[in-house]
Amino acid sequence: MRQIVVPQPGGPEVLTLQETSKPVPSAGQIQVRVAYAALNPLDNHARADRIKWQHPGYPFTPGFEYAGLVTDIGEGVDESLLGVRVASNAGWGGNADYAIAQANMVVPVPDLFDWKLATIFSTCAYTSWLLVHTAGRVRPGQTVVIHSAAGAVGALVTQIAKSAGAVVVGLAGGEAKLDYAKQFGADYLMDYTNDTWPKSVLDATDGRGADLIIDGNAGAAALLNLEAVAPMGNIIFMGATAGQAPSFPPSALIGKSCSVSGFIQYFFQTISNGKEKEETHSRLIKGDWRIPVERIYDLEQVAEAHEAWESRSLMGRTLIKVGGDL
């Protein structure tokens, strides 16, 4: 079978396509024939050795997020899983024809989802809903600022926040991304490469600022969020694609009585009682909400996909076609 391997830390050039034998599931594991893998930021960060959380070590096969058919099971796994469509977002290995996953960690794919949506719903959809309703506790009339509004999570958070009755300000980098983000319904769109965007947020809110800011970029400009957040508002960091943020001064938080918090999907799912699943499945099937898939690369083109991610030229979600529509 085909398999992408990262032998050591480096740029996209270290990604290597190899031929190897199918992996065999151990106790509690399943073998999955991969249809598509998503290009998850963790793939890029792990390849470049920019993360420590859940890093698989070297060598490893990227593909933190993928979907496929269960084709074999290990000891102790229920045989009813054989032939079931599942999504995995709690391990690695999806950049290969076959991957191994923990049976108790995969998510069954709704029957009406095609393979592309099957690959991305259990991260993008659940994350977006939880950011709005569980972590952000958005109420009608509140102002929500969303960084990377041209990305898949930003696009879906925009749609979910609007459905919750919020006024949405989408931030994106440059004219092309701003034009792309228009389709998702934000009330305002602003260029975050211009450091005056906090003033524009204040202008749009009669000087009050945003009740909630969702930031997956962080980086050197992260402190600008403090200028745009409203008194008693919340800034949620869900990633750091632009690098680590400077330390937040406690005096600034005290001055606005605002809060800064972090977000990882899995923690918030422990308190959501599965509400994110019911509504996102229904709305995605009806077409009320959508997760945009803009680029699909073949398995042999994984390095090109990583290069595009590193250059920040991607919009929406990007997939790696492995077995395709099985």
Residue 88 belongs to some domain of the structure? yes
Are 194 and 92 contained in the same domain? no
Of 78, 57, 121, residue with least CA distance to 265? 121
Report the distance separating Cα 247 and Cα 35, nearest Å: 42
The mean pLDDT of the chain is 95
Q: Which helix (H) or strand (E) is 160 found in, with range?
A: helix 152-163
Residue 117 belongs to some domain of the structure? no
Residue 116 belongs to some domain of the structure? no
Are 128 and 94 contained in the same domain? no
pLDDT score of 51? 82
Are 128 and 253 contained in the same domain? yes
pLDDT score of 248? 87
DSSP 247: P
pLDDT score of 244? 82
Are 95 and 128 contained in the same domain? no
Q: What is the pLDDT of residues 79-89, one digit of tens each?
A: 999 999 999 99
CA dihedral 109→241→18→94, nearest 10 degrees, is: -10
Under the banding of pLDDT at 50, 70 and 90, the label for residue 219 is confident
pLDDT score of 281? 96
pLDDT score of 229? 98
pTM of the model as a whole: 0.92
Are 160 and 232 contained in the same domain? yes
pLDDT score of 52? 81
Under the banding of pLDDT at 50, 70 and 90, the label for residue 294 is very high
Least confident residue range of 46-50, 247-251, 318-322: 247-251
CATH number at residue 231: 3.40.50.720
Query: 285: exposed, middle or buried (C-beta count within 10 Å: 0-12, 13-18, 19+)?
Result: middle
pLDDT score of 140? 98
pLDDT score of 21? 97
Residue 231 belongs to some domain of the structure? yes
Residue 192 belongs to some domain of the structure? yes
Residue 326 belongs to some domain of the structure? no
**Residue 35 phi/psi, 5° resolution?**
-90, -60
pLDDT score of 247? 87
* For residue 53, pLDDT beyond 80: no
CATH number at residue 35: 3.90.180.10
Are 21 and 148 contained in the same domain? no
Q: What is the pLDDT of residues 122-136, one digit of tens each?
A: 999 999 999 999 999
CA-CA distances (angstroms) from residue 209 to 89, 120, 133, 144, 262?
35, 32, 20, 9, 20
Domain that holds residue 135: 122-269
Residue 234 belongs to some domain of the structure? yes
Q: What is the pLDDT of residues 231-283, one digit of tens each?
A: 999 999 998 888 888 888 898 899 999 999 999 998 999 999 889 999 999 99
pLDDT score of 240? 82
Are 82 and 213 contained in the same domain? no
Q: What is the pLDDT of residues 9-19, one digit of tens each?
A: 999 999 999 99
SS3 content of the chain, % helix, strand, coil (to 5): 35, 25, 40
Residue 280 belongs to some domain of the structure? no
Are 149 and 100 contained in the same domain? no
Are 298 and 179 contained in the same domain? no
* For residue 194, pLDDT beyond 80: yes
